[in-house]
Amino acid sequence: MEKDWKQVFLSGELYQAEIAKDLLENNGINAVIMNQKDSSYTSFGNIEVFVNEKDEAKALELLKELKH
Residue-range domains of the chain with CATH: 5-67 (3.30.70.1530)
How many angstroms separate the CA atoms of 13 and 46, rounded? 7
pLDDT tops 80 at residue 68: no
pTM: 0.85
- Whether residue 56 contacts residue 8, with contact meaning beta carbons closer than 8 Å, is answered with yes
β partners of residue 48: 10, 34
Q: What is the pLDDT of residues 12-47, one digit of tens each?
A: 899 999 999 999 999 999 999 999 876 666 667 899
